[in-house]
Chains A and B, each alone.
Chain A
Amino acid sequence: MEFFIGRILPYLAVTCFVVGLIYRIGRWNSAPIPHEQVLYPAPETTKDVVVEIATEAIFFKKIFNTDKALWFGSWFFHIGLFLALGGHLVGIPFEGKQFIYFGTSVELSKELSHILGSVAGIFMFVGLIYLLIRRLTILEVKKISDPSDYFDAILLLAIAFTGNYMRFLAPLEYVEAKNFVIGILSFSPVALPSNGWFVLHFTLVMILLIYFPFSKLFHFIGTFYTQAISTKIAPPKPASLKVEKGTSAKVVTTQKGGVSY
C-alpha cells in the first residue's frame, strides 16, 4: 500500500490530470463560435475586456452584487484554495523561510508562513462548509445537484480538514514534505513521512487530481472560455449613426420604481 501511494499514485495522478486537461481544452477549442453572441452592455476596448473578465475571475463580481451569501462561501473558499496552493509551492521548497528575502528573521518568516497557511486553510474550510450547507438546504440548488456535486465538496473538505489538522494538531516538518516531493520529482521516490495525516492528505489530493478531468472542476479554466464568448468588443455601430456634436449617448437615470428582486 505504501509502495502504491508513495511510488505509483503520484505519477498516475499527475498524468491523469495533465492528459485530462489537454483533452478538455482541446475539445473546447475545437468547437467554433458560429455567430455574434456578445451580451450587452459590452466592453469597448481590449483593455476593458481583460479588466471585465479579470475582475469577475478574481473578485466574483456578479455574485458579489447579487447574492452576498453565495459570494461569501464561494470567494472565501476559492481565495483560500489559491493561497493554500501558493503556500505549498513556496512554503515547502523554502521550508517556510521564504520571507527572509523580504528582510525578516527566520523565526518571523516561519511565523508568517504559519499564519498565512492557517488563514488559507480556515477560509477554505469555512467557505466549503457554507457551500455544502447551501447545497443541502436551498430548494433550487438541491434540485439541480447531482451526487458528484456533493462528492466534490466533501472531497475538498476532507483535504482542507486534513491539511488544517496537520497545521494545528499533528505538525509535519517542512523538510519532511520537501524531501518526499523532491524524491517524486527526481523520479527516485523516498519513503512516505510517518505522519499518518500527511499520508491521508496526500492520498486525497492524488484522488482529486485523478478525478479532476471527469468532473466540473475544470471550470476554473472553463470560465475564461465561457466569458470570452459573450464578454467581448461588440461590432461597431454603422457610421451613419454618428452624431457630430459629440453628444454622449449616456443618460443618467434618476427616477426608479420601487420593486426589487
Chain B
Amino acid sequence: MSAIKTIIHLETDLHPIPVTTTEPEKRVERTKQLFERMKNQCRAVVMAMENCTKCGRCAKECHVYLGTGDPDNIPAARADLMRAVYKKYFTAGGKLLGSFVGARELDDELLEKWVNYFYQCNECRRCAVFCPLGIDTAEVTIMARQILVYLGLVPKFHMSIAKQVDKTGNNMGIPKGACIDSCEFIEDEIREETGVDVKIPVDQKAEILYVPSSADFFTNFDTMVGAAKFFHAIGANWTISSEILEAGNFGLFFDHDFTMKSHNNRLVRIAKKLGVKKVVQGECGHGWRAARMYTPSLSGPVPFEITHIIEEAAAAIQRGQLKLDPSKNDDKIVTLHDPCNAVRSSNLMEEPRIVLRACVNNFVEMYPNREKNFCCGSGGGILMEEMIEWRKKVTQVKRDQVRATGANYLCAPCSICKAQFPVAFEGYEKEVPGFKIGGLMDLVGYALVLE
C-alpha cells in the first residue's frame, strides 16, 4: 500500500505532532503493535471489542448510515473494522476460530477502510445512547484515529487546524493585532446600536477568562456581540486572551495524546497567568467537552472553575440579573439543535432552554431532542471541502427534523454546527423565507436591554 485511496485528503507534514510517518510496507506491523499497546489503555474500547452482540439496534440511530446507506457505516460494522483485528490477534476465540467469530487478518485493504470509515464517524455518541449494552463507538473511532496519527495518516484539514493552534492559539490563525481590531469594531457596533459603552478587554488580569470560538470573529459575529453584551450586563470583570481565542480543541477528535493535551495545557497556562477565578467557554460543543470533561485527566487539578457561557446566562436569568425583551426576537420562530458533545457528553441540556424561553417568544422543540438529537453531520471535525457532498447526504435527517418544526431560525450553539448548516441547508431559504442559522448568545444579545 504505497498510496492509500481515501475519501479525505491526507497531510504528509505532521509538525507539530511529534511522530514520524511509518513507511507503507511497515504500516500493518506497526498498527498491530500500536493497537496491542493502546487497547490496554481504555476500557470502553475493550468492552466495545468484546461485548457487542450484533443486535443491530444502532443501525437506524446513526445519521451517517441513514444518509449514506453504506452498510460499513452501521456503528457496529464500523467498530467491526477494529474488532476483527482485535479478535484475530488478542483473543483466544479469534486465534482458534478465525473468521467463524469474525476475526480478520490486518492488511492494507483493511487499513485503508480504517481511514475511510473512521473518518466518516461524527463521534456524536448517539449510538451509545441507544445501545442496549452501552457500547460507545465514538471511543473506538477516537482510538482508531489516534493509531492512524501514529502511522502518519492524518487528514489535511485536521492537521491544518493543529498547525494553526500551535502557531496562534486558535483555529483561524487570528494574530493579536487582528484580535484587538475586531474587538474595537465590535465595541463600535454595539455603541452604534445601543448607545452603551461595552468594552471587550484583551489580555487583562481579570476574574473571568472568556474563551470564544475563533469563528465568532468571522462568520458568527453576533455570538461574540451577544457574549460581550452579556458580560457587560452582569457587570463581570472579564477578559479574552489573544493567546487562546479558541474554545474548540480538535485534538479531541483525532489526537488526544498531543494535540488535545497541548491545547488544554495552553488553556490552563494562560488562565493561571491571567490569575482568573473562572474560565468561561464560548459556543463550541466539543471544546466545551474537552475543557469540562478532560481537564482533570489531562492537566490535573486547576485553581479555577470551568463553566459554559450558556450555563452562566441561565444562572443569571434565574437570579434575575438580566433585563430581557423577548419581543425583540418576535420575527423569529426558533428551534434548538442540541450539539452532540454539549448535550450528550457535557450536560448542556436544560440551560439552553432556560435561556431560550427568556429570550424568545416563539420557541419550538425539534424532535427528537436533547440526548436523542441527531448530530449536525460534521462532528468529529468532518468539515473538509472534499466531504461536502457527503455532508449534505448525512444531514437529510436534520433537514427533516427542522422542516417539521416550521422554524425560521435554527439555533445551534456550536461553531462546527454553525459551519456545517449553511452547507446542509443550502437552498432551504426558498422553502422558508428568511431562514437563518445562528447561535444562542446571538439571541441573548438581540433581547438584552442594556443600561
Contacts and interface: CB of A to CB of B under 8 A. Distances in A.
Contact of A140 (B39, B74, B296, B335): B74
B364 A255 contact: yes
B132 interface: yes
Interface stretch (A1-9, A194-202, A229-237): A229-237
Interface string B112-143: 00000000000001001111111110010000
Contact of B134 (A34, A223, A250): A223
B353 interface: yes
Contacts of B80: 144
A35 B54 CA distance: 26
Contacts of A147: 99-101
A238 B397 CA distance: 35
A242 B132 CA distance: 34
B347 interface: yes
Interface string A234-255: 1101111111110101110101
Contacts of A141: 54-56, 59
A71 to B, nearest CB: 9
B56 A33 contact: no
B354 A214 contact: no
B365 A214 contact: no
A241 B315 contact: yes
Interface string A119-156: 00000000000000001001111011111110100000
A255 B344 CA distance: 21
A214 B363 contact: no
Nearest to A35: B297
Contact of A74 (B55, B397, B401): B55
Contacts of A244: 319
A235 to B, nearest CB: 8
Interface string B61-72: 100010000010
Contacts of A171: none
B297 A36 contact: yes
A204 B57 CA distance: 29
B350 A250 contact: yes
A104 interface: no
Interface stretch (B239-247, B324-332, B366-374, B424-432): B366-374
Nearest to B125: A39
A250 to B, nearest CB: 6
Contacts of A214: 91-93, 96-97, 101
A213 B101 CA distance: 12
Interface string B396-408: 0100110111000
A28 interface: yes
A222 B51 CA distance: 6
A116 interface: no
A31 B335 contact: no
A144 B130 CA distance: 17
Contact of A32 (B41, B76, B366, B403): B41
A257 interface: yes
Interface stretch (B154-162, B306-314, B381-389): B306-314
A238 B102 contact: no
B54 A39 contact: no
B133 A226 contact: yes
Contacts of B346: 40
B382 to A, nearest CB: 21
A57 to B, nearest CB: 10
A125 B365 CA distance: 43
Interface string A33-69: 1111111111000000000000010001011001100
Interface stretch (B42-50, B179-187, B196-204, B214-222): B42-50
A43 to B, nearest CB: 12
B270 interface: no
28 contacts: A27-B50, A28-B50, A34-B297, A36-B294, A37-B44, A38-B345, A39-B371, A40-B371, A56-B134, A66-B57, A67-B57, A70-B55, A138-B56, A139-B71, A140-B71, A148-B101, A214-B92, A216-B54, A218-B51, A219-B53, A223-B132, A230-B128, A231-B134, A240-B278, A251-B357, A255-B363, A257-B365, A259-B404
Interface of A: 24, 27-28, 30-42, 56, 60, 62-63, 66-67, 70, 74, 135, 138-141, 143-149, 151, 213-216, 218-219, 222-223, 225-227, 229-231, 234-235, 237-245, 247, 249-251, 253, 255-261
Given A70-B55, A257-B365, 14 more contacts: A34-B42, A40-B345, A40-B371, A62-B131, A135-B54, A140-B60, A148-B100, A213-B93, A216-B53, A216-B54, A226-B134, A250-B350, A253-B369, A258-B367
Interface of B: 39-48, 50-57, 59-61, 65, 71, 74, 76-77, 80, 91-93, 96-97, 99-102, 125, 128-136, 139, 278, 292-294, 296-298, 305-307, 311-312, 314-315, 318-319, 335, 343-347, 349-351, 353-354, 357, 363-371, 397, 400-401, 403-405
